[in-house]
Amino acid sequence: MSVKIPRGTQDILPGQSEKWQYIESIAKEVCRRYHYKEIRTPIFEHTELFKRSVGDTTDIVQKEMYTFEDRGERSLTLRPEGTAAVVRSFVENKMFGIPDQPVKLFYTGPMFRYERPQSGRYRQFVQFGVEAIGSEDPAIDAEVIALVMDIYKSAGLKKLNLVINSLGDAESRNAHRAALIAHFEPRIGEFCADCQTRLAQNPLRILDCKKDRDHELMGTAPSILDYLNEESKTYFSKVTGYLDGLGISYTIDPKLVRGLDYYNHTAFEVMSEAEGFGAITTLCGGGRYNGLVQDLGGPDSPGIGFAFSIERFIAAMEAEGIKWPLDNGLDCYIVALGEEAKDRSVALVHQLRTAGLSADRDYQDRKMKAQLKASDRQNARFTAILGEDELAENRITVKDMAAGSQENVPLNELAQYVKTKMEAN
Ligand code: HAM
């Protein structure tokens, strides 16, 4: 029996991988404009890191991590998200000492969560994210949100809903926590076993429960917005004020709590509103995490960031029917007929490639007709035919597949000829 791909993972084959490259290139270009620099961290980290940042009582830590012991008996975990590692690296590399704060970083790479696979939910998925660490200016919250909306806009996505909420500071959260306990405690017996443990440990997580989401107490649960202290209210109105000023529309949803523990103040998600988009409509999630750097052993350095998966980004593009501006074509395919022509074509494709063109040839010793068909299948802009007659004159026949015309050019001028024609287009 052949070995199959693990559940919840996928091969990204040619034809699809270009879409990934396209989205990554847009995201990187927008990051360049906003002055965010790339950081690369390991794919696995000490398990402890995620317990302390994402949170011991979250679904991610309790149910979804790929944790293993290495040969040195250390507990390691395949990263389920990027923020924890970026903050660890910020502390470890003393980036808080860099004179210009916040430090503005972006990252991309595979993340791993042992979730039940379904459309838009994988066990290995690729996130693109940014983190701005070292400032508590609400303008940076607006910048981070503007950045992600700019990425979506640059790709042509329109049917989006930016949902935003404030989780407040520690004081506001404590007041809200007490109200949540008072609200759920009398009827906690009607909730799932997980929610019963959540009540004491982290009642905010009850609002995130997938099993009990239709329970009547969910709809009437106390809203965090009613428990924000003055400072938190002012902060939130500054953020929304900046978004208004930038013309970025949003919906405030007091029920948006996010599934990770490190958040406070601004929390946001971007949802797809495209018809036919799967059941999971969240494209992007992010928020502020003011205590995290300290929790991981650094100084008081407030941060904010977001991450989206490329998988859901692609699904949104397809649900909106956006045409992929991908250039899959080949610049020149060489059709060589006869032994000598084949030998000569080794150097010919090389010259084309050295000149910066994409070029290919036949490697299956096929007849002329089959080679011409291959050139066609590969969408070659030019087909260069080298037969005995051409060889005798040291020339080559070049067909312009778009114009339907052909010319006979000196062999040593082939690369220059194709290049000039391509540039003229
Ligand atoms: P998150 O909400 O857990 O946040 O994930 C962010 C995004 O990753 C989601 O909105 C979704 O696009 C994608 N995603 C999550 N799980 C899966 C999955 N199983 N399959 C496909 N895509 C998935 C975080 O990870 C935070 N670190 C975001 C952040 C950065 N907050 C501050 N900075």
Which tokens go with 125? 């998925």
- The residue from 292, 320, 348 where one domain ends is 320
Average pLDDT, the chain: 96
Crossing angle of helices 17-34 and 310-319, in 10° steps, is 110
Q: How many domains is the chain partitioned into structurally?
A: 2
In a domain, 39, yes or no: yes
Angle at 163 between CA 41 and CA 322, to 5 degrees: 75
pLDDT tens figures, 294-333: 999 999 999 999 999 999 999 999 999 999 998 778 999 9
Do 336 and 315 lie in a common domain? Answer: no
In a domain, 351, yes or no: yes
Q: Over 90: is that where the pLDDT of 357 sits?
A: yes
Ligand 1 proximity of 41 Cβ (cutoff 6 Å): no
Mean pLDDT over 98-125 rounds to 97
CA of 33 from ligand 1 middle (Å) equals 23
Do 308 and 373 lie in a common domain? Answer: no
CA of 315 from ligand 1 middle (Å) equals 15
Do 287 and 406 lie in a common domain? Answer: no
Do 271 and 359 lie in a common domain? Answer: no
- The residue from 320, 353, 373 where one domain ends is 320
Do 22 and 102 lie in a common domain? Answer: yes
Question: How high is the pLDDT of residue 126?
Answer: 98
Do 252 and 308 lie in a common domain? Answer: yes
Mean pLDDT over 129-150 rounds to 98
CA of 82 from ligand 1 middle (Å) equals 9
- Distance in angstroms between the alpha carbons of the first and the last residue of the chain: 51
CA of 83 from ligand 1 middle (Å) equals 10
Q: Assign residue 59 the CATH number of its domain.
A: 3.30.930.10
Binding-site entries for L-histidine: 81-83, 113, 127, 131, 258, 262-263
**Domain limits at 350?**
330-424
Ligand 1 proximity of 309 Cβ (cutoff 6 Å): yes
Q: Over 80: is that where the pLDDT of 288 sits?
A: yes
Cα separation, 372 vs 384, in Å, equals 10
Q: What percentage of the chain exceeds 90 in pLDDT?
A: 91
Do 266 and 396 lie in a common domain? Answer: no
Do 295 and 335 lie in a common domain? Answer: no
Do 237 and 258 lie in a common domain? Answer: yes
Q: Which atom of ligand 1 is nearest to the CA of 258?
A: 2
Do 307 and 238 lie in a common domain? Answer: yes
- Closest Cα to atom 7, ligand 1: which residue? 308
Do 112 and 241 lie in a common domain? Answer: yes
Do 274 and 400 lie in a common domain? Answer: no
Cβ neighbours of residue 344 under 8 Å, at least 6 residues apart?
A: 336, 386, 391, 411
pTM of the model: 0.94
Mean pLDDT over 169-180 rounds to 94
- The residue from 289, 320, 351 where one domain ends is 320
Residue 380 Cα to chain centre, angstroms: 31
To test the ligand 1 pocket, which listed residue (41, 126, 163, 282) has its Cβ within 8 A of the most ligand atoms? 282
